[in-house]
Amino acid sequence: MNRTMNKKNIIALLITGFMLFGACMFGFTADVHAEGNVDQRLLGTTDGKTYVNEYFNIRIPLFKNMTIADDANLALQNEADANGYTAEKRLADINAGIPTYVQYFSTDNNDIYVLVGKFQSKEEKDYFKKNYLNEDLSETVESWKNDPNASDFKSGFKKVECLGKTRPIVLVKGKYYGKDYTEAHLLYISGDYYAIYAVSGYGTNQLELFQKATRVRKQK
């Protein structure tokens, strides 16, 4: 229905290219972190009103009446074989270093993607933390420029009070088919893993989901 559906893989492609570039630069090797594999808490759950990720200790509200992706739809988002594509396969891919869409929610007007990945080394994590947001903004802006239906957009980082601190959000706001349209990305890192929450759609209230995010449990 909108830009995100047409550009759904921009984040995964950006991260894959980003990690490959870092691997070439620093000679990263896999499985060097001590944390080990994490169970299915990493994928998160939903009750249709909120998305909860126990590993990242985040609860994010959803827009009303969102459709929740099933295994077949998530296979499509991840460009994977739908035959036997399960939560276990997604978790295995993440722990193998493959950035993976673990959930996708949609309405006629909005989309929410949740992508999770794992750092394969300390050097990779440091490089990612230093450079990823700027690359994400650059690639997102480029996708808007190349979309003939997008116009009059502004982009940058928006500092938002989220989960007890001020966090930078990659934000692009403009017109899509002549209607107000907003795209916002939040990067969140915990331990050896990272999550990217991408919210996009018609209107201007996408940032509210990040502002209304809460902890699942008290943060230590």
pLDDT at 5: 39
| The amino acid at 144 | W
Tokens of 207: 């940032």
Which pLDDT does position 31 carry in this prediction? 45
For the record, the structure tokens of 208 come out as 């509210």
47 neighbors 176 (Cβ within 8 angstroms): no
Record the pTM: 0.88
Position 13 scores a pLDDT of: 58
pLDDT, position 191: 93
Rounded CA separation 85/83 (Å): 6
The token pair at 196 is: 């990217």
Q: Tell me the DSSP string of the chain.
A: --HHHHTTTHHHHHHHHHHHHHHHHH---SS--SS----GGGG-EE-SSEEEETTTTEEEE--TTPEEP-HHHHHHHTT---TT--HHHHHHHHHTT--EEEEEEE-SSEEEEEEEEE-SSHHHHHHHHHHHHHHHHHHHHHHHHT-TTEEEEEEEEEEEEETTEEEEEEEEEEEETTEEEEEEEEEEEETTEEEEEEEEEESS-THHHHHT-B-SS---
Q: What's the CA gap between 9 and 20, in Å, rounded? A: 16
For the chain, the distance separating the N- and C-terminal CA atoms, rounded to the nearest angstrom, is 41
Could you tell me the strand order of the sheet in which 58-61 lies? Answer: 45-46, 50-53, 58-61
In this structure, the dihedral spanned by the alpha carbons of residues 116, 168, 127 and 114, taken in order and rounded to 10 degrees, is: 10
List the structure tokens of 170: 């990659």
Predicted confidence at residue 167, as pLDDT, reads 96
Rg (the chain; Cα; Å): 17
Tens-digit pLDDT string for the chain (220 aa) = 455 534 455 565 566 655 554 444 444 444 444 455 678 899 999 999 999 999 999 999 999 999 999 999 999 989 899 999 999 999 999 998 888 999 999 999 999 999 999 988 888 888 889 888 998 898 888 889 988 999 999 999 999 999 999 999 999 999 999 999 999 999 999 999 999 999 999 999 999 999 999 999 988 7
